């Protein structure tokens, strides 16, 4: 029996990390520096809550919704299924054919056109309303994509977000699933406990199962 292996599925956060057009880009400023004679290095970061791999909190799209600090951690840790999709435009309900959603609980979608950390495309793959509804009604606890949003860039109603949230389904976005083969893993992707936050960057990892 092989030892479990960790696979980092987080995007690298740096000054070149792509963000939603108009959102805050990442920056880092040295407050203290050893090379300047200080006893240690201390940095200050400025970034959007949606920078890189992140967990959306219900507050992001529902007025009065829970913030990141109040969100349950249970959906973000546990057994998951990585699914390869085939339509470069969207995740379709057909991608869930033959999957017992309530048994899998956490489903991550590996789409055909993954983005680089420094790349933005307006036509990224999103979750179709039919797929979101099937996941919500099927008993999913968490859904993740390797693109910036479960809804298309042009959406003003955020239908997939709201369908999932109505059934308590947690959302992970901008995963890096390129190094991952489809199959079953253990997911660990905990959001930070930030009061009032509408989302939180996460360090998402998969652990192979023995």
Q: Cα–Cα distance between 119 and 103 in angstroms, integer?
A: 35
Q: Other C-beta atoms within 10 Å of 111: how many?
A: 24
% residues pLDDT > 90 (the chain)? 97
The mean per-residue pLDDT over the stretch 40-50 comes to 98
Q: Which two tokens stand for residue 17?
A: 């990390």
The mean per-residue pLDDT over the stretch 123-132 comes to 98
Q: 98 pLDDT band (50/70/90 cuts)? A: very high
Task: With a cut of 80, say whether residue 81 has pLDDT above it.
Answer: yes
Task: With a cut of 90, say whether residue 210 has pLDDT above it.
Answer: no
Q: Other C-beta atoms within 10 Å of 86: how many?
A: 10
The mean per-residue pLDDT over the stretch 121-145 comes to 98
Q: Which two tokens stand for residue 58?
A: 């219900």
Q: Which two tokens stand for residue 48?
A: 């959007």
pTM: 0.95
Q: Catalytic amino acids?
A: 60
Going along the chain from its start, the domains and CATH numbers come out as 6-11+50-208 (3.50.30.50)
Q: What is the pLDDT of residue 1?
A: 60
């Amino acid at each position: 029996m092989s030892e479990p292996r960790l696979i980092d599925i987080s995007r690298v956060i740096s000054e070149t990390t792509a963000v939603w057009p108009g959102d805050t880009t990442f920056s880092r400023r040295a407050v203290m520096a050893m090379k300047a004679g200080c006893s240690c290095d201390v940095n200050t970061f400025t970034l959007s809550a949606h920078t890189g791999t992140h967990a959306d909190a219900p507050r992001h799209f529902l007025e009065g919704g829970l913030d990141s600090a109040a969100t349950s951690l249970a959906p973000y840790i546990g057994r998951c299924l990585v699914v390869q999709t085939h339509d470069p435009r969207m995740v379709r309900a057909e991608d869930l054919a033959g999957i017992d959603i309530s048994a899998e609980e956490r489903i991550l979608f590996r789409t055909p056109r993954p983005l680089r950390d420094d790349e933005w495309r307006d036509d990224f793959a999103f979750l179709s309303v039919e797929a979101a509804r099937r996941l919500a009604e099927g008993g999913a606890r968490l859904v993740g994509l390797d693109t910036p949003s479960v809804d298309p860039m042009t959406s003003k109603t955020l239908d997939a977000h709201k369908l999932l949230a109505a059934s308590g389904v947690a959302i992970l976005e901008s995963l890096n699933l390129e190094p991952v083969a489809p199959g079953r893993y253990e997911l660990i992707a905990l959001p930070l406990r930030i009061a009032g936050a509408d989302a939180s960057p996460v360090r998402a990892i998969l652990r192979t199962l023995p």
